[in-house]
């Protein structure tokens, strides 16, 4: 008999788990055969109603919402509403559930029938480009406050970047709450995944280097930047999708490699970057070590003082090793942070602080208490203002 293989390392982001709706249809398979979905995330600007922690609503267009409400009302009506029906028990006292008879939809229903169809599998780059062009034309019609993100669902660990994670929302909320600070800045995002935080950053910043690894993921990220062009154009912000591997010492400048850097971009990054952002990037200790080495190396080479914002979700897992609940990846992240805290290497001084997360919620997701935001400041020593005591003779 064939052996059954369990894919124990497949993960699904809570963002996608909690937000299904009729528009969450698979649009196609990407060229490596993974189902691709497009989700919409609405930015709630000042004055709009926010239902914090109401995970389902941000994605849905008004008509979807209306439809769902109507459905809920219809169900309540049919079941007689809360408290209207006495539970039916069998002779042992078990609850007997009466199933509602299946009815065919009324002919004149004004709701679209949901028929998920895989239209085609994109096989060539040309096909993907044609789709992009179509999307671009649609773009012009689109609302200025909807972020559209192409993503996959339930990926193996090595493809987690193809899903959107809650940390990206927390970071995006922070960016939207600090627009004055980020306006006109040059920003580097590490482990950008689908690129959601970079899109939001480019609403205010001048240049965002949106980085990750893997041609496949970077292509998806690039498509997301194109999908959201109408959000970025008014402010003139630009997103450049580039390869940056935390396990490599140098940036790739080989012109034959897709998503490589030009010499001008490398110079711009070193001379002008004042912020680094990273969302939900600590889930494997070796990668976390690589990330912190990269952070240290980059911010030591930047000409400007550099502030890094890292969002993280403290995930509890049961481990056989501990026979208990633990959060090893988070604990390792905290150890890396404490190694940076107070570090002075002759050129830079590093300071680490945890930021409060009480800033307004502009995107709708569940802002669970395990979501944290950390700030790492790297100040070149020549930029430091001497304290009063240091000035005294």
Closest distance of CB 147 from ligand SAM, Å: 12
Residue 239 or 281: the one with the smaller Cβ distance to ligand SAM is: 281
Phi and psi angles of residue 371, each rounded to the nearest 5 degrees, phi first: -80, 125
Cβ proximity to ligand SAM: between 186 and 194 the closer is 194
Residues 6+ away with beta carbon under 8 Å from 27: 36, 37, 38, 119, 150
Nearer to ligand SAM among residue 315 and residue 347 (C-beta): 315
- Contact range with ligand SAM by CB under 6 A, out of 116-124, 140-148, 212-220, 251-259: 212-220
Is position 209 an interface residue for ligand SAM (rule: CB under 6 A)? no
Name the residue number minimizing CB distance to ligand SAM.
Answer: 161
Q: Are 332 and 288 in contact (CB under 8 A)?
A: yes
Contact flag: residue 290 with ligand SAM (CB under 6 A): yes
Cβ–Cβ under 8 Å, residues 194 and 161: yes
Distance CA 187, CA 209 (A): 6
- Contact call for residue 247 and ligand SAM (CB under 6 A): yes
Closest CA to 97 of 88, 105, 84, 106: 88
287 binds ligand SAM (CB under 6 A): yes
Q: Which is closer to ligand SAM, CB of 190 or CB of 378?
A: 190
Query: How many residues bind ligand SAM, per CB under 6 A?
Result: 23
Q: Which of 21, 220, 27 is nearest to 118 (CA)?
A: 27
| Residue 198 Cβ vs ligand SAM, minimum distance, rounded to whole Å | 9
Stretch that binds ligand SAM, among 20-28, 256-264, 279-287, 327-335 (CB under 6 A): 279-287
Q: Should residue 237 be labelled a site residue for ligand SAM when binding is judged by CB under 6 A?
A: no
Does 245 help bind ligand SAM (rule: CB under 6 A)?
yes
Query: Taking every pair of C-alpha atoms in the chain, what is the biggest distance, in angstroms?
Result: 92
End-to-end Cα, the chain, rounded Å: 85
Nearer to ligand SAM, 193 or 237 (CB): 193
149-168 footprint of ligand SAM as x/- string (CB under 6 A): -----------xx--xx-xx
Is the CB of 230 or the CB of 287 nearer to ligand SAM? 287
H-state helical runs in the chain: 14-17, 62-79, 125-139, 166-177, 179-182, 196-201, 215-227, 229-232, 263-272, 285-301, 328-340, 388-391
C-beta of 232 vs 310, nearer to ligand SAM: 310
Q: Nearer to ligand SAM by C-beta: 168 or 336?
A: 168
SS3 309: strand
For residue 28, count other CB atoms closer than 10 A to its CB. Answer: 20
CB-CB contact of 164 with 191 (8 Å): no
Query: Applying CB under 6 A, does 58 fall inside the site for ligand SAM?
Result: no
Interacting residues with ligand SAM (CB under 6 A): 160-161, 164-165, 167-168, 191-194, 196, 212-213, 217, 244-247, 279-281, 287, 290
């Amino acid at each position: 008999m064939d052996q059954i293989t369990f894919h124990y390392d497949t993960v699904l982001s809570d963002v996608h788990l909690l937000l299904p709706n009729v528009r969450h249809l698979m649009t196609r398979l990407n060229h490596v055969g993974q189902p691709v979905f497009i989700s919409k995330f609405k930015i709630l600007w000042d004055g709009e109603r926010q239902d914090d922690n109401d995970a389902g609503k941000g994605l849905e267009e008004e008509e979807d919402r209306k439809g769902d409400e109507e459905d809920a009302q219809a169900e309540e009506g049919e079941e007689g509403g809360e408290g209207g029906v006495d539970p039916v028990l069998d002779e042992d006292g078990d609850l007997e559930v009466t199933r509602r008879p299946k009815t065919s939809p009324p002919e004149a229903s004004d709701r679209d029938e949901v028929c998920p169809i895989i239209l085609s599998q994109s096989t060539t780059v040309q096909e993907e480009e044609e789709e992009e062009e179509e999307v671009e034309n649609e773009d012009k019609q689109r609302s200025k406050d909807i972020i559209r993100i192409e993503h996959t669902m339930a990926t193996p660990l090595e493809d987690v970047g193809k899903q959107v994670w809650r940390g990206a929302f927390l970071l995006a909320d922070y960016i939207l709450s600090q627009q004055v600070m980020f306006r006109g800045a040059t920003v580097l995002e590490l482990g950008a995944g689908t690129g959601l935080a970079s899109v939001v950053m480019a609403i205010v910043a001048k240049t965002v280097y949106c980085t990750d690894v893997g041609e496949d993921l970077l292509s998806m990220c690039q498509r997301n930047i194109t999908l959201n062009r109408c959000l970025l154009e008014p402010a003139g912000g630009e997103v450049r999708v580039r390869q940056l591997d935390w396990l490599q010492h140098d940036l790739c400048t080989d012109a034959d490699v897709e998503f490589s850097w030009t010499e001008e971009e490398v110079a711009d990054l070193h001379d002008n970057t004042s912020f680094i952002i990273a969302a939900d990037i600590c889930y494997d200790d070796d990668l976390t070590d690589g990330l912190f080495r990269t952070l240290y190396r980059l911010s030591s080479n930047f000409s400007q003082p550099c502030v890094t914002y890292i969002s993280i979700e403290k995930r509890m897992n049961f481990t056989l090793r501990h026979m208990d609940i633990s959060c090893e990846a988070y604990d390792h992240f905290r150890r890396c942070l404490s190694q940076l805290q107070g570090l002075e290497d002759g050129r830079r001084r590093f300071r680490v602080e945890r930021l409060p997360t009480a800033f307004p919620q502009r995107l709708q997701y569940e802002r669970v208490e395990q979501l944290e935001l950390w700030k790492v400041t790297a100040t070149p020593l020549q930029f430091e203002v001497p304290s009063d005591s240091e000035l005294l003779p």
